[in-house]
Structure formats: C-alpha cells, structure tokens
C-alpha cells in the first residue's frame, strides 16, 4: 500500500492570463519554468495520496485567490484560513518591488485547508498567521513556512512542485518531494 500523507505543501506553477509581463513565469524571452492551467492543476490525483484526515498548505498568488480555492476544493480539502507572507527587504522594510495591475504586491498567500477532521498540533494555537521574510530567487518561498508547517501539522509530509535542493536549502528531513525539477519520491498522475 502507498504511503498516505497527512500534510501536503504545494506551490503549483500557476498560469497567469498575461504572459507578456517580465515577471510572468512563461514570458517568451525569460521562460523560467513550464506553467499549468487551473484545470490541469485541479485534476491532479492529490486526493489519492492523502490520508482521510489531512492538511493542505497551498501557495497562491494574490491575483489567483479564487482559482486557489477552486484547486483546494478539487483536491478534497475545505479552506479554513491562510498565512500571509509579507515580503521584506534585507533592511526589514516592506518590499516595494512587487508587481500587479492594481497594487504593488508585497504579499503572497499560503492557503490552509483540511480534509476530514484533522486538527492542528498544539503549537499552532500560538502561531501567528504571518511570515515576515525577504524574497529569494524567482518563486522561491521562505524557509519559515516549512518550520511553521512542521510545528503545526503532523507527518508524513509531502511537498508538491518541489524545487531542487541547494546548499542553502537542502531537502528537509521527514519530507517527501514530487516535481519535475527534483528526483521525486512518489508518482502522481497529472492529467
């Protein structure tokens, strides 16, 4: 029998409607990585690898909040709350380098959903739902998010769309990974 995960962290390669902007992952000259349409992400067989009682942490850009909630539901999770990543400069100021059509995005959302009746671990009761951290490489998420997840949600844990290990951020103990940029620990159907 395959291992069933109680905690999933996912950072899908969201496809934006505007692929001409220089920060767009699929910009024709700067092509950073292959993106996926919302229906492709939503149709992934994530429910098949989750325990009946599980947590999902889903990174979603502010502009795609509705789509993130749609994906969460398609994967069999009920949205409960979120953690906000406030992107700061090395000097500790709120970053003004973000992009957006309406406001300069200095935040990103980590949606939290539950499948079944799994409650968070005791340390979650004192965990604020905000991360203050500098931005790293394109689409790299703060290491603090892993520490929060490990303190608040039980294993076994799986990171979907994981990025390659680097000397600065090696694969975390106790986590399995899946993605097209890493040596995956599991197989997962992608439509």
Q: Domains in the chain and their CATH numbers?
A: 5-178 (3.40.50.150)
C-alpha separations of 62 from 82, 86, 106, 158 in Å: 12, 12, 10, 24
What pTM did the predictor assign? 0.88
How far is the C-alpha of 147 from the C-alpha of 77, rounded, in Å? 22
Rounded Cα distance, 39 and 119, in Å: 29
pLDDT, residue 27, reads: 46
Above 80 in pLDDT, residue 132? yes
Q: For residue range 94-124, what is the model confidence (pLDDT) as tens digits?
A: 887 777 778 888 899 999 999 999 999 999 9
pLDDT tens readout for residues 58-79? 999 999 999 999 999 999 999 9
Q: Name the token pair of 178.
A: 């899946």
pLDDT at 28: 54
Task: Give me the chain's average pLDDT, please.
Answer: 86
Q: What's the pLDDT score for residue 19? A: 55
For residue range 138-161, list pLDDT tens digits in order: 777 889 999 999 999 999 999 998
The owner of tokens 């000259």 is 29
Per-residue pLDDT at 31 exceeds 60 = no
Angle among Cα 87, 92, 95 to the nearest 5 degrees reads 35
């Amino acid at each position: 029998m395959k291992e069933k995960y109680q905690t999933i962290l996912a950072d899908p390669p969201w496809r934006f409607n505007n692929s001409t902007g220089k920060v767009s992952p699929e910009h024709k000259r700067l092509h950073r990585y292959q993106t996926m349409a919302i229906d492709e992400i939503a149709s992934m067989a994530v429910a098949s690898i989750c325990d009946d009682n599980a947590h999902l942490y889903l990174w979603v850009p502010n502009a795609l909040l509705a789509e993130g909630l749609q994906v969460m539901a398609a994967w069999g999770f009920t949205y409960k709350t979120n953690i906000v990543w406030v992107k700061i400069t090395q000097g500790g100021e709120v970053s003004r380098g973000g992009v957006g059509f309406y406001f300069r995005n200095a935040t990103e959302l980590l949606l939290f959903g539950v499948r079944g009746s799994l409650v968070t671990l005791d340390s979650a009761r004192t965990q604020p739902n905000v991360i203050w951290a500098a931005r790293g490489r394109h689409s790299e998420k703060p290491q603090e998010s892993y520490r929060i997840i490990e303190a608040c949600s039980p294993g076994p844990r799986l990171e979907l769309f994981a990025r390659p290990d680097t000397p600065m951020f090696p694969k975390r103990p106790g986590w399995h990974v899946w993605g097209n940029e890493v040596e995956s620990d599991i197989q997962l159907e992608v439509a």
